[in-house]
Amino acid sequence: MSAKTKSFDLNQFLATRTDAVNAALDKFIPSEKTKPATIHKAMRYSLFAGGKRMRPAVLLAAAEACGGTDKAAMPLACAVECIHTYSLIHDDLPAMDNDDFRRGKPTNHKVFGEGIAVLAGDALLTQAFEIAAQAASWPRYSHRDLVLEIAKASGSLQLVGGQVADLEGENKKLSIAELKFIHERKTSALLCCSVRLGGMSANCTPAQLKALTDFGYNVGLAFQVIDDILDVTQTSEQLGKTAGKDVAVQKATYPSIVGLEKSRKIAADLTAKAFAALNIFKGKAVALEALAEFLLKREK
Ligand code: GRG
């Protein structure tokens, strides 16, 4: 880590960007009173339940590294958070992970019922594309490119595909290669897409986009390895979601296959690869570097 990154005030970066993302989301999403009110209440309930806003944060940081602005990147930051929140609502449903607790609150279906929770997820997924369509296009990246980016990361080859492989892998012994296949799709794809969209919102060069892709892919994988570690080392109160779930449903994870210590080493190695990808930014990617470090050391 460079001296510049060490002195970078990540807490301030996260606080100001989270506030800005929340304010933008508040404008994009219909108010709680808009009819039919239940669906908008349900969408807002999960969207504003206190998520870490990591995908918007990496997106805005990538835009900054490429000389872009928060203003241009903001619609895309909101779009990826809508996709992420939809995936959490659906993942928590009884037909999937069957969880009662998320972002420190009862899950969406516990409050609004399963039908509305399914629809709140559907509406957030659709809303993401409506918001992305309101972003600017750029000489190097058209609206078509931006929409394709989000659709590809969210569809059956990536996010949904990862969730399918995850469901089908329950109660089975998986190899590290099979687990990586799940993590690349379930977690890394949307994080990588977020980083790339940040660059695209700044009209980044092809070389910058390649660097951001390498960074996002490796940080995304590290994020899931850490998530697996936290599931066994933290409490539900610390995480704001049910801890120990992976062991309870005998889910294959890095700690269950290679142990905690090796899992920590794998996460650190992936983060080092992510750092190396940022070399071409010559010190301009301090926010991205600080975020990668933060994600490696996070406790929730
Ligand atoms: C239902 C299509 C579909 C996909 C679900 C999101 C997901 C895929 C499953 C949830 C479980 C899980 C471990 C997903 C991997 C991604 C991940 C670690 C999500 C949690 O992200 P955080 O920690 O959550 O950024 P917050 O609440 O802080 O936004």
Residues 21-73: tens digit of each pLDDT: 999 999 999 999 999 999 999 999 999 999 999 999 999 999 999 999 999 99
At residue 98 the predicted structure's pLDDT band, cuts being 50, 70 and 90, is very high
- For residue 224, how far is its CA from the centre of ligand 1 (angstroms)? 9
Q: What is the mean pLDDT of residues 177-205?
A: 97
For ligand 1, is residue 251 a contact (CB within 6 Å)?
no
Q: What is the mean pLDDT of residues 267-281?
A: 96
At residue 101 the predicted structure's pLDDT band, cuts being 50, 70 and 90, is very high
- For residue 289, how far is its CA from the centre of ligand 1 (angstroms)? 22
Question: Helix, strand or coil for residue 106?
Answer: strand
For ligand 1, is residue 88 a contact (CB within 6 Å)?
yes
For ligand 1, is residue 51 a contact (CB within 6 Å)?
yes
Mean pLDDT score of the chain: 95
| pTM higher than 0.85 | yes
CA neighbor of 165 nearest in space, from 224, 218, 108, 104: 224
How many domains, in total, are found in the chain? Answer: 1
- Determine whether 280 is exposed, middle or buried from the number of CB atoms within 10 Å of its CB (0-12, 13-18, 19+): middle
Ligand 1, atom 15, lies closest to the CA of 187
CA neighbor of 270 nearest in space, from 251, 246, 292: 292
Res. 288: pLDDT tops 80: yes
Question: Helix, strand or coil for residue 270?
Answer: helix
Question: Helix, strand or coil for residue 284?
Answer: coil
DSSP character at residue 188: I
How many residues does this entry show for the chain? 300
What is the domain extent for residue 260? 3-297
CATH code at 70?
Answer: 1.10.600.10
Residues 207-229: tens digit of each pLDDT: 999 999 999 999 999 999 999 99
For ligand 1, is residue 160 a contact (CB within 6 Å)?
yes
3-state SS, 155-187, equals CCCCHHHHHHHHHHHCCCCCCHHHHHHHHHHHH
For ligand 1, is residue 54 a contact (CB within 6 Å)?
yes
Which atom of ligand 1 is closest in space to residue 92's alpha carbon?
10
